Structure 1
C-alpha cells in the first residue's frame, strides 16, 4: 500500500510512505545484491528505519521503480519494515525510452558474454513489457520468438517462477503458469494451498499446475456466465453441493407453507437467500441477433461464408448463427436461509435425511419412505459421478495439451526414436484403419504446423532418417485423432473399459509415447489400464 504525504517544495517529487516489498528494483537486469552480507546496515535500518528517502518514478501502470536506494529497500525488506519514505515523480517519456534501451542492451550484451540465467532473462522481458513495448517489438529487439516473449513476460514477474526456472524445476511454460496462479490467489485464495501441495508431491508438477490453472479459468468463465444472476443478488456456487447431509436443498426438496411445490420463480423473488450453481453443458448454436438457441440440424452448413447462398429447405443460413458455450443454472437454498424463505422440508426429504426413529415425522408409508430414500441416494450418486467426470475431463484436457506439445518436440527431430519403425510395423498390421479417423489431417496440421498435403513434397527433399520421422508423424497424429475423437474429447480416460468409442490401439499408442520420454498423466495411465479410474480421480481431485 502507498500513502501520499505532503509534497516538498516544487521539485517534481512527492513524498510517500510505501511498502518496500512492493517497490520494483530495476537498476540492472542482472540481480545478485546480497544485502545479508551487510548485517550492520540491516541492524541500523531495523533500529532507526530508513532515514534517507528512496528515489523512485511512477510508471504508467502505477508501479514504483526505484532509481536510487536499492540497498535501503533490500535492508528494509530484511528488517521486516512495511513502510519506508520514498520520493516519487512520474516517469517521463524520455526515461521510458532510456529504460527500454538499457534493458535491451543489457540482455543482448550479457547473452553474448556471460549468459544471463533463464530467470534473469525472463525478468528483463517482463520489464520491457511493463515499459509499454508490445510482444512483437520485444521479440524483434531480443531476436526471440513471440511465444517466448509471451511466456517469459508472465514468468518474469514472479520471483518464485524465476527461481524455479534457474533451478531447472520448471520449463518456461510451467514457470509462466506458476506466475499466473500466483496472480489468481487474490480472487481464488484456495490456489495457494493447491500449488503448495503440488510442489510437496513433487511428481508431474507442470501437469498438475496446468490442471489447477484450467480450473481457475473455468471458474472465471463461470463467473462471467453467472454475472447477471450475481448482479441480482444470487451467490455463486462453483461446486455442486450435496443435498444428502441436510445443509443444502434444491427446490424439489422443499414445500411452501401450505404444502405445495416451490414455484419456479421462487429464487428470483428472493435472490439474496438463494445460491446458484452454473456448469457448462457443451457448445450450442445461437442466433446472432436474438441469442436464442438454434438446433444444429436446422443449420445449413454448406452456406457458411457465402452470404449469397440460399439455405436448403427450411434450414437456416450458417452465417446467421454462432457457436457459444452452453450453461445450465441450478438453484440451491442453504439451511440457514430456509426459514427466511418461508419453506418447509418435503416429506421425501425428511425421510431421506432422517433415521428410522424419525419415520413417524415424515407422514409417509413404509413403501413411500423406502422410495424416497432410494431416490435421494440415486441423486447423490449422480452428483458424485458428475463431479468425477468434471474433474477427470479437466485433467484430460490438460493432458492433451501436454501430450501434443511433446509430440511436436518429438517429431521435430532428425531421426525417429529407437524401435519406432518396428513399432509402426506392428501397430499398423493390426490397426491400419487408424488413417480413416475423421480428424487425421487436422491433428497432423496442429502438431506438425503444416498441412498433410505438403508431406509428399517434404519427403522428396528429406533425408532417409527425416522421412522416417514424417512417417512416424503420420502414424502418431492419426492415433492422436483416434484418442480424442471427432469432437476433441477429454474423456479418453474411460478407455480402461476397453474399446470405448472405438479407441482400439490407444494403449499401444500411449505406451509408445511413454517409452519415447513422455510422462503419462494419471488420466493417461487410467486409459491404458495401469491404474483404475478411481485412482486417477483421487490423484487429480486432490490438486483441484
Structure 2
C-alpha cells in the first residue's frame, strides 16, 4: 500500500507523468471531453504516487492527463498521495481505486471489467469480496470469472457482448447448437429464457441417460433426441417385422442395430392414493380451500409425476433383416390416429417444459425485485386492486411458499394452525418505503402462486394481466408466456 504521508498538491507538465499502469484499455477521449479540458484545464487533480526513482505515476485520472497532453497544457495540478508500493495488497488497492474512479465517471468497458476482476481473483480476492469492494453485482463478478480462460467467450466480449451474454457462451462451450440458440436469444432480447431452456435441456439429457442406463449397459445406444424417420432410414421398432413376419422386438434384433430414445411422460395422480387421473378431470380454477366442481379433482389434491418410457428404433432396417409390414386402409388410419396422439402428447410435454423454464426465469426476476429499496411507480395501485378483487389469493398456502422462496424467509412455526409468516420480522425493521416493497412482493407472490403449466393451454385473464403487468416493469416474456397472454394487450404508459 502507499504510505500515510500527507498528500501534496503539485503542478507538473502532464507529459512528465507516468501513465503506464491503468485498468482501462481504451481512454475514450471524446471530442466534448477534449474541448472541455482545452478550455477549462484540469479542474479536479489526478492522483499520483512517487516511484522509487522520484517520478510520478498516475493512479487515477488517466483520461484527464491524456487530454491535457493533447491540449498541450503546460502544467496541471496533481495530488501526490504517497510513495508507490508494489506488493499484492497495494496492487489490490490500486485495482479497486481505479475501478471506482473509472466506473463512476465514464464507465468501464466490459473487457476492462473482466481484466480487473481476473487480476483481483489471481491475487486471491474472493468473488464475494470483489463484488463488495468494487460495488459490483455478484452476478457480474461470477460472469467475468466464467469467461476467463475461455477464448470464444472473450472474443465475443471484445466484439461487444456484455459480461452476462459472453458468460452464457462460456457455460455452453463446445455446443454449437446452443451457441446458435444463444445468438438468436440475444437478437430476440430473450437471452435469460434461452439460457434457462438450455440448462433444462442439459439436465433432461442427463436424466434421460440415467433412465436409459440399463439399455446402455446392454450395448444399446441412447439418443438425446428422437431420430428423424424422414431424412434417414431409421424406423420405430414397433413398426417393423422380421423377414418371417414376426413383430420386431429388442429380443429378436441385435443390439448393434438398435438405439433407444427415452420418452418423457407427464402423468397426474391423486396425492393421497397415487392413483392416476386424467388431466382434463382436474379443476385448476378452484381456489385453495374451495370445493372442486362436481366430478372433478381439486388441483391441490393432484400431483404431477414424470416417467420415462423407452422408444426403440432401428437405424438401418435392411441391415438388421427387418421390413415394414403391409397395411390395409383401416390399419393405416389406426396408425395415423396413434401418430396424431403421439404428436399432441409431444406438444404438451414440450410446452410444459417451456413453461417450467419460464417459471424459473420469472422467479429469478421476482427475487431481484425483492431487493429493491423502493417500489416502482404504480405498485400501491396494483396492491389495492388485488385487495379489492382477489384478496383471497394472499392467504392461500401456495402463496406463502412462493413468498418465502422470493424473500428467502421461513415461517416461524409450521406446526401451528396459523404460523407467523417469515416476512413479519422483515416488516418490523423496514422503513415505510421498504414496507411498501414487501407488500408489493407479497402481492406478486399471490398472483404467481396461481400460475402453472395449465395457463398456456387455457386462457386465464388473471394470469394474462399479471404477466402483462410484470412485463411493463421490464420483465421479458418468453414465447410460452406470450401464448398465455392470448389477446390481452400490453400495458403502455
**The two structures share one fold, judged by TM-score above 0.5:** yes
Q: How far, CA to CA, are the matches of 1:457 and 1:214 in structure 2?
A: 35
Q: Over aligned residue pairs, what C-alpha RMSD do you find?
A: 4.1
1:296-445, aligned counterparts within 5 Å? 297=273, 326-334=307-315, 337-347=316-326, 351=327, 369-445=328-404
TM-score normalised according to structure 2 size: 0.62
Match of 2:178 in 1: 191
CA gap 1:279/1:157 in 2 versus in 1, 3 angstroms: farther
Match of 1:155 in 2: 147
Equivalent of residue 513 in structure 1, options 460, 464, 470: 470
CA gap 1:515/1:141 in 2 versus in 1, 3 angstroms: closer
Q: How far, CA to CA, are the matches of 2:392 and 2:147 in structure 1?
A: 43
| Deviation, structure 1 residue 103 | 7.3
Match of 1:467 in 2: 435
Deviations 1:148-207 (A, max 9, x none): 54333213444564576688854x5444222212x1x2xx332333334444x4432332
Contact 1:119–1:165 at 8 Å: present in 2 too?
A: yes
Contact 2:261–2:312 at 8 Å: present in 1 too?
A: yes
Contact 1:125–1:153 at 8 Å: present in 2 too?
A: yes
User: Any unmatched runs of 5+ in structure 1?
Assistant: 1-26, 35-97, 285-294, 299-322, 352-368, 485-489, 532-544
1:37-48, aligned counterparts within 5 Å? none
Match of 1:276 in 2: 260
User: Any unmatched runs of 5+ in structure 2?
Assistant: 1-19, 28-85, 275-303, 412-420, 489-493
- SS at 1:276's partner residue? strand
Contact 1:177–1:210 at 8 Å: present in 2 too?
A: no
Match of 1:38 in 2: none
1:11-50, aligned counterparts within 5 Å? 30=23, 32=25
Q: How far, CA to CA, are the matches of 2:87 and 2:481 in structure 1?
A: 47
Q: How far, CA to CA, are the matches of 2:214 and 2:92 in structure 1?
A: 46
Deviations 1:252-284 (A, max 9, x none): 2112232222245235xx221111102444699
CA gap 1:424/1:102 in 2 versus in 1, 3 angstroms: same
Contact 1:431–1:505 at 8 Å: present in 2 too?
A: no
TM-score normalised according to structure 1 size: 0.57
- SS at 2:397's partner residue? coil
| Deviation, structure 1 residue 333 | 0.9
- SS at 2:312's partner residue? strand
Deviations 1:374-414 (A, max 9, x none): 22222332343344334333332332222222222333333
CA gap 1:377/1:325 in 2 versus in 1, 3 angstroms: closer
CA gap 1:394/1:166 in 2 versus in 1, 3 angstroms: farther
1:108-119, aligned counterparts within 5 Å? 108-115=96-103, 117-119=109-111
Match of 2:169 in 1: 178
Contact 2:354–2:480 at 8 Å: present in 1 too?
A: yes
Q: How far, CA to CA, are the matches of 1:100 and 1:374 in structure 2?
A: 77
| Deviation, structure 1 residue 331 | 0.8
Contact 2:147–2:166 at 8 Å: present in 1 too?
A: yes
Deviations 1:343-400 (A, max 9, x none): 23222xxx3xxxxxxxxxxxxxxxxx23222222223323433443343333323322
Contact 1:28–1:103 at 8 Å: present in 2 too?
A: no
Aligned pair 1:255/2:241, yes or no? yes
Match of 1:214 in 2: 200
CA gap 1:162/1:407 in 2 versus in 1, 3 angstroms: farther
CA gap 1:223/1:132 in 2 versus in 1, 3 angstroms: farther
CA gap 1:125/1:382 in 2 versus in 1, 3 angstroms: farther
Question: Which structure has the highest helix share of the two?
Answer: 1
Contact 1:103–1:124 at 8 Å: present in 2 too?
A: no
CA gap 1:438/1:33 in 2 versus in 1, 3 angstroms: closer
Match of 1:478 in 2: 446
Q: How far, CA to CA, are the matches of 2:443 and 2:213 in structure 1?
A: 45
- SS at 1:327's partner residue? strand
Q: How far, CA to CA, are the matches of 1:342 and 1:296 in structure 2?
A: 49
Match of 1:493 in 2: 456
Q: Give the number of equivalent residue pairs.
A: 367
CA gap 1:380/1:326 in 2 versus in 1, 3 angstroms: closer
CA gap 1:210/1:167 in 2 versus in 1, 3 angstroms: farther
Contact 1:444–1:451 at 8 Å: present in 2 too?
A: no
Equivalent of residue 480 in structure 2, options 500, 509, 523: 523
Match of 2:423 in 1: 455
| Deviation, structure 1 residue 441 | 1.5
- SS at 2:390's partner residue? helix
1:118-137, aligned counterparts within 5 Å? 118-126=110-118
